[in-house]
Amino acid sequence: MPQSTITLHDKQFTPYLPARQITDAIRELGSRISQDYAGRQPLFVSVLNGSFMFTADLLKEVSVPCEVAFIRVGSYAGTSSTGEVKEIMGLLEDVQGRDLIIVEDIVDTGHTMRALLDLLSAKQPASLAVATLFLKPECLQHELELRYVGLSIPNDFIVGYGLDYDGLGRNYPDVYKAV
């Protein structure tokens, strides 16, 4: 049972999505990915820091042989996107000719995802797909093909399950929204 209200820095958050709903969405994504990649060995590229919990739980639901790598990018300051994407920690694996699946916690404006797709496409993978746990469709500012979307949500600021507010809140199993 989620806590009724949490306080992070100067903001109050109330329960929004219970862990069970998140688990169900991830199970469905894992099943779809396993079907789509049968007979293949995808490389999951997890976008740190936010997607670490999602990546771990998603890979538990994927039944095909796979690998995981991590990339760290930043575009947020406080509660809003700066609109400027900076690659902080690069991908060390050779991805040319590989089936890649970018694993992202949330896609809102799409700035980060657009930059990642451009960056990874230039490395000539065999295929490139996106798995995001959350999508804010009304915020999108780029046309993106998001093959695997766990949950579409309104434009609420959320924390929990890997998502944070200035570093806090990632550890909650449930998702909370700002009031």
CATH number at 103 reads: 3.40.50.2020
Give the residue numbers spanning the domain of 94. 19-74+84-156
* pLDDT over 70 percentage in the chain: 91
Count Cα neighbours of 104 within 13 Å in the Cβ-side half-sphere: 27
Residue 102 lies in a domain: yes
Q: Domain count of the chain?
A: 1
Whole-number pLDDT of residue 59: 98
Q: pLDDT per residue over 31-55, tens digit each?
A: 999 999 999 999 999 999 999 999 9
pTM score:
0.92
Q: Residues 97-115: what's their mean pLDDT? A: 95
Residue 169 lies in a domain: no
Q: pLDDT per residue over 9-37, tens digit each?
A: 999 999 999 999 999 999 999 999 999 99
Residue 8 lies in a domain: no
Whole-number pLDDT of residue 66: 98
As a whole number of angstroms, the distance between CA 175 and CA 65 comes to 30
Residue 51 lies in a domain: yes
As a whole number of angstroms, the distance between CA 45 and CA 155 comes to 25
Residue 13 lies in a domain: no
Residue 6 lies in a domain: no
Q: Residues 150-164: what's their mean pLDDT? A: 97
Token pair of 41 as six digits: 């060995």
Residue 171 lies in a domain: no
Whole-number pLDDT of residue 92: 87
Q: Which residues are catalytic?
A: 108
